Amino acid sequence: LNKMAVHMFIFYWGMLSSITPPVAIASFAAAGIAGAPAMRTGWESMWVGSIIYFLPFFFVLNPAMVLQGGAYGETALLFVTAAAGTLFICGGIQGYQAFVGDLRGAGALEWPLRVLLVIGGFVVATPGGGINPLSQFQITSLGLAILVPTVAVALLRRRRQTPATGQLRGP
């Protein structure tokens, strides 16, 4: 394994203690300011920030993510795919996908769609090459094969569930 990638992995995980209970110093400070329960805020911050727990693994899978051993073009491509995958992972975790909207409008398919968004996003964000036997093209194609139908179904379901103009929608 690349030494720089391994060192960044360890350093990154050390910094995650700021939102991970029971330490969660940043979350506890925010809870004090907001007047909210400290542990509940810590757990919520960990849930909202759960995507950042995956990122250090990407450093190790392909050291080009930390500018080690790869061309700048490869690094730029890895960052773009990681950002796109992160967008879908966060959409699945939070239940609100950018360019689609609130996934609660998908009705009974909300949770399957959310799970597929997380899986597809994770596949797209995973860097190819490095110690990974698949190329970046193969991984991105697999992720898109999961995400494109998932987003299409989410859009269709949301359109069907959208109330007609002038009608009020309940919570």
Q: Return per-residue pLDDT of the chain as tens, 171 residues.
A: 889 999 999 999 888 889 999 889 999 999 999 999 999 999 999 988 888 888 899 888 888 888 887 788 888 999 999 999 999 999 999 999 999 999 988 889 999 999 999 999 999 999 987 788 899 999 999 999 999 999 999 999 888 875 555 455 555
pTM: 0.82
DSSP string covering 42-95, please?
HHHHHHHTGGGGTHHHHHHH-GGGGTSSS-HHHHHHHHHHHHHHHHHHHHHHHT
Nearest to 116 by CA among 127, 100, 131, 128: 100
